[in-house]
Amino acid sequence: MCIFCQIINNEIPSYKVYEDNQTLAFLDIKPVNPGHTLVVPKKHYENLEAIPAEELGALIFTVKKVGALIKDKLSAPGYNITENNDPIAGQLIAHLHFHIIPRHDGDGLKLWSQHNQKTVEAEEILKKLTS
């Protein structure tokens, strides 16, 4: 059983921020910033493609609710939401989860670098995705 399933089943203690019938939100034990919260479905799904649409809707509703709590209660002017989908993308626990990371001026957190896309490259990618 994965560590998040153990948290959901109260086999491992956690700092629960929010809970309903389908979802659980708890503080990350290795936060990027104070208040960094994980939101998980209570049923085990390995990644984003595995979860049914109805349950994903409930999960995103909880992400929205917890994001609002973070802004209101922690006075965070904003937050980042991330979901690392599969190990190649940095997913360490094979249980779907969203990170909500509070943001403050000068917190030092950097986003990924970007580059200009060539028109030819964009057209090739578009053709693959839409064919």
* Residue-by-residue pLDDT tens, the chain, 131 positions: 899 999 999 999 999 999 999 999 999 999 999 999 999 999 999 999 999 999 999 999 999 999 999 999 999 999 999 999 999 999 999 999 999 999 999 999 888 777 887 788 888 888 899 99
pLDDT for the residue 84: 97
- 99 closest CA partner among 45, 59, 57: 59
Q: Provide the annotated active-site residues.
A: 97
pLDDT for the residue 119: 80
Domain count across the chain: 1
Tokens of 126: 């578009």
Contact in structure between 18 and 40 (CB atoms under 8 Å): no
Range of the domain at 13: 3-130
pLDDT for the residue 89: 95
- Considering the entire predicted model, what is its pTM? 0.91
| C-alpha dist (Å) from residue 50 to 29, 44, 106 | 25, 9, 37
Tell me, what CATH number does 45's domain have?
A: 3.30.428.10
